[in-house]
Structure 1
């Protein structure tokens, strides 16, 4: 036995050596979880930027000038680490007109550099406003028509829709979006492993008698993946925004450095007041005050609505109230405050700093109210103090005591309005103060007034009111360039700096209406000249379209309603949004809006009271300036399998950072995880300057990348100060690359631009870089099954091109005909 020991020792040594080499062949990259958006001047980047803002994503915008970029794309940082986890292009080839010729603004070597980066680090690409190309495995479905602006609703492959919790059966119309219905190109190019449809255009007339492809997921034999959308995009299009959610979930593999939550609050102003209802051509004016039966009908309806909204929903109305309306019902009460509450200045009047303002309240008044006397005189007050509040069916906030306009109002009046209403909300009366349903630091001012009055803003703060709501229909008190943030007062707007205002939307359910015919009368008086006579159902449809854009854009602005809109107890039975009941104006509006919403997405709908909603805006404001950055550790095996299960969050300031994770993920590092119903989990990470928070999760995200070179475990890139040295020479326009072995060199970084453009560029095509690729090949059927076949494919750029190839002149095509950048 002894003579065999050396052989055994040699065998053990060989095994250990092999294991060591295998271990050494593992590689770990730290990659920034950030998006690169590549576009051209006027390239239509506003559509994806809207979605980036809605999620609060970390991204860089690079506008490639028509003169091109010098050096490589800025894909690596100064230490040679990957800067981006997703690349988004606003057109398939980043084309623009240069001296009258449509061409790509990236060079052949820059395209090759980008593709090598994507392959090495497993970075997915999404291209918007792309055109079908045989080189990508697709072709236009109708070569005689090519593209079209016909309305063709878009539906989804359920596998991709579910990643974003979009309904698998969702279908959304695409008016105004020029598009290129596509189909499969055969034979499939040798460098493509599979082409899978992601979304579909519905049939349309004789040009498109059958369903066609709207988007595809292309997987190349080297593992690189691209999702191509054959449609234009627009920030004004609900269809575009829905598509954004799908490609974002896929492109990030569900690891999103941001969050998505539908926060929707309907605020019903003027509770306890009586409203004079507008007359119509067939009705006379009358007064209406919501009844107990109306409130009970709303309670039952909210319960029903929540059962029909996506799992995890918690829809609830907020009722800003005016206590003087309770006194008015008591005869009126001897202590009722009878003053002029209307404004007598222009709506955007800026009260001069320090100038005297209106004093309307009496010098002396009493708040020695009797709750029992008020309850005996007012069934509505009695309903709320005997269980209607403690049931927790509504949120409540102040709307001032009498509803006095604050635009040119004195400090003394404003102080009395706030303190007197707060007493009615307090102990011995409504008993709201201190309950989970009461907002004590935010409120709704009457007629959205006081935003230009420094007396109002300073007195609000003195009373602990740090936030009020605004009106997005008034440009003077809203900021369309920062729609997800507070509007903040300045000396110029208000003679007062820093008061925060939550954006709020009015709607076409007017405060002096209780019935649809009254809405129609007012609406048609305003819009008949441009829209013609409109019915209530047409008005609701337009409101649905408007709100769908906001909801898919993840806007958190509340909507304004009024107490008269709650009338439902004596309303006729109607069917709206597929639901039948005795519904009033507000209920019909909400049903119509959320019928469209729930047909598209499975996102829970959450209502937050005013104080909590203000906190959401404050936390976003902190994130705007805290400099948070998210990265992940990517472990790559010798076989080219990447695994991600660790995130790192750093910042230069203090804030709470949200990170959305794939469905089914479990965080194992102890951070707070929020998950509503079946929606995606979001981990909230509290960060401080100079600290790194580490998040670990399971199961890991696993995907294919270029295999690690077994002789090297580190990047060949080295850095010294600001200078970067690499052992790989930048490819020229005739270079050949191998995605499995090419080292991505450190880049010569061009300037990143943040200039936004508002127009789309006409789609065009260019010839891509010619590459020679040697790699393990997947089967060329539409599957991702690997085989062991190896193929070498060489493209000669001087050969005449066959039918379907991209071209810029007739001489490039075998047929001698180049039509709209395609060989015929």
Structure 2
């Protein structure tokens, strides 16, 4: 018996908001889904099965779906029993339908309780979720504590519990698993959801892993990227005339900090690999060493910087520059006589010429001078890129372990609507730039897990990738706690925060939600944020010492992630994270899916004994207004330009039939294990293995040895 499309989830609700409560986590995994929004009695469900078998591998019902007829519920239940597909009931009221009754009364979103998973049930039922038993807040979530009915104790198991309060003196039930005599299985949660809630996102991993039994087309990975702009430049500090430029001692402190973070993570979250990445501006080196040379003139001469200031455009952020317009700031034929005597007058240059120091960080171009590119000419931008890359060659950055030579961080994320600038990027061999998530037009409107692709209409140049990047409450022009808190109170949402502790509490509340929500966007920082050796002491947990703003933020976020999950926490360099986004979009466009094949075992149990990986063969054919066009053609069936991720449970032994790809080198992962399948298997820390399947025209089947995945 087959589930024709074992990876697609069917989400049934009464509003689009109902669907979004579950779709955002499926988007994170890259799991395909369909929504059935029923707004009145008589609305029909899609066909649950066709001649090829079942059409869905998971059924998700939101808020009890009151418009469903009894006959429709019966059809869903019969489908479950026939194919062994599980059902998830989200945001439901406790009732005998779930083997429970309400405990006293429901709570509105402002009445907080703590909840946690039942560890022994979690280990037995959803071990691949990788969630730690920890207290979580119901802040902002409507919830209804429940008790299991005595007559249903044999078929109902609590996996999620509310902790006691003054009003609720006993532990109560927040979620249950029902195993009914008919063979039907369902999971129910008695609280609302929302993509803004870390608690909701955490709980969503429970039903994804349990519902799919750890077997799905898609992938889970947590990336923590911290990009630090403006290396070699001096930044004027907020509300001050003073400037700050990071020093070698600060960088040495961050190398030590990174080592300590990784040592800790590889105990708590094996497979982790965190590092910081710099965007560098070569003109900052010239300006600094020229200042030293001027005050200590030697027998040799050092050239001054190209320029250090310019007139900022008065246009808006999203102004589209007419092609071919603008006034050039660079000389027509610039020359630079870079000599070792001059370059290495700069202590930062001396620091980075040491290969161990250099390879401790990621490195990517941030342009030569940091010139605003919104109105810049092609002439200027071509030189901003090419001369910065020449400096990278001079400094041997291009041979660095984590150098990215295919993309850039645009200065202040400018030039994104300047077709001349984008063409200059491309002509220099760069195919991607980092963006800014505070500007919606720089994100992909179809899927936040895809990059934005430029087009002539909005950007003046087609097909250039903008990779999303998050901001934080650590400001670009602050080098100490007082400055950062003052700016946050003045300009943002920190008015109720109590000093730096309060600011970090806000960051702890919001940022990890994106990461466990499987957003792979890196985070934006700037070089003053690394000032460490002469700042005030601060306490982070049980540790007191001198910490930079970046170190405080990373320490705080890592603490929270470690509290929530045991997954590896991984950093990727700029080019690799860009490729992650590009590959994800390309893979999704191929419309991949997996077919489950089930068999009856000798003991009478049913199990998934093999899966077949297929694709409908969609291809990206362009974009307009930020919307990517995807064309599906039968001649492209079972083909995809990039490998398809398929995640399998732990301790499953597999063999493959179909085209192999032992020479595939397109994958960008920390650890690859070839298990003799001819397909690469990504296996990092406690995360379940992911098979990367290349489809070259034929479906590929993986056979599970032994019992397979029990239904």
Q: Shorter chain as normaliser: what TM range?
A: 0.7 to 0.9
1:397 is aligned to: 364
* Cα-Cα RMSD: 2.1
Q: Which moved more, 1:290-299 or 1:38-47?
A: 38-47
Q: Shift of the alpha carbon at 1:30?
A: 5.5
Q: Secondary structure at the residue paired with 1:313?
A: coil
**More RCO (CA 8 Å, sep 6+):** 1
State whether residues 44 and 234 of structure 1, in contact with CA within 8 Å, keep that contact through their aligned partners in structure 2: no
Q: Shift of the alpha carbon at 1:141?
A: 0.9
Q: Shift of the alpha carbon at 1:193?
A: 4.0
Determine whether 1:676 maps to 2:638.
Answer: no
1:292 is aligned to: 248
In structure 1, C-alpha distance between the alignment counterparts of 2:401 and 2:277, rounded to whole Å: 12
Q: Shift of the alpha carbon at 1:363?
A: 3.1
In structure 2, C-alpha distance between the alignment counterparts of 1:331 and 1:135, rounded to whole Å: 77
Determine whether 1:75 maps to 2:48.
Answer: yes
Distance change >3 Å, CA 136–CA 411, structure 1 → 2: closer
1:346 is aligned to: 315
Q: Secondary structure at the residue paired with 1:635?
A: strand
State whether residues 436 and 471 of structure 2, in contact with CA within 8 Å, keep that contact through their aligned partners in structure 1: yes
In structure 2, C-alpha distance between the alignment counterparts of 1:434 and 1:700, rounded to whole Å: 49
Determine whether 1:443 maps to 2:443.
Answer: no
Structure 1 runs (4+) greater than 6 angstroms displaced? none
Give 1:234's match in structure 2, choosing from 150, 171, 194.
194
Q: Over residues 147-173 of structure 1, what are the superposed CA-to-partner deviations in whole Å (9 max), with x where a residue is unaligned? A: 443111220011454424433422221
2:480 is aligned to: 515
Structure 1 unmatched ranges of 5 or more: 1-26, 96-104, 705-824
Determine whether 1:412 maps to 2:379.
Answer: yes
In structure 2, C-alpha distance between the alignment counterparts of 1:577 and 1:472, rounded to whole Å: 30
1:487 is aligned to: 452
The 5-angstrom pairing of residues 398-797 of structure 1 reads 398-426=365-393, 429-479=394-444, 481-527=446-492, 531-532=495-496, 534-637=498-601, 640-651=604-615, 652=617, 653-654=639-640, 655-669=642-656, 670=677, 671-688=679-696, 690-704=697-711
Q: Over residues 66-119 of structure 1, what are the superposed CA-to-partner deviations in whole Å (9 max), with x where a residue is unaligned? A: 13235x762102x1511122111112x311xxxxxxxxx222222222212211
Q: Secondary structure at the residue paired with 2:157?
A: strand
Give 1:308's match in structure 2, choosing from 238, 258, 264.
264
State whether residues 343 and 349 of structure 2, in contact with CA within 8 Å, keep that contact through their aligned partners in structure 1: yes
Determine whether 1:49 maps to 2:23.
Answer: yes
Distance change >3 Å, CA 156–CA 348, structure 1 → 2: same
Q: Which moved more, 1:490-499 or 1:402-411?
A: 490-499
In structure 2, C-alpha distance between the alignment counterparts of 1:702 and 1:621, rounded to whole Å: 29
1:385 is aligned to: 353
**Which structure is larger by alpha-carbon Rg, 1 or 2?**
1
1:34 is aligned to: 8
Q: Over residues 688-718 of structure 1, what are the superposed CA-to-partner deviations in whole Å (9 max), with x where a residue is unaligned? A: 3x410122344543435xxxxxxxxxxxxxx
1:132 is aligned to: 94
1:119 is aligned to: 81
Give 1:86's match in structure 2, choosing from 46, 58, 64.
58
Determine whether 1:365 maps to 2:334.
Answer: yes
Determine whether 1:272 maps to 2:232.
Answer: yes
Q: Shift of the alpha carbon at 1:552?
A: 1.8
1:199 is aligned to: 160
Q: How many residues align?
A: 650
Q: Shift of the alpha carbon at 1:607?
A: 0.9
Q: Secondary structure at the residue paired with 1:32?
A: coil
TM-score, normalised on structure 1?
0.76
State whether residues 11 and 33 of structure 2, in contact with CA within 8 Å, keep that contact through their aligned partners in structure 1: yes
Q: Over residues 415-454 of structure 1, what are the superposed CA-to-partner deviations in whole Å (9 max), with x where a residue is unaligned? A: 111111111100xx21011443111111101110000101
Structure 2 unmatched ranges of 5 or more: 292-301, 618-638, 657-676
In structure 1, C-alpha distance between the alignment counterparts of 2:647 and 2:542, rounded to whole Å: 33
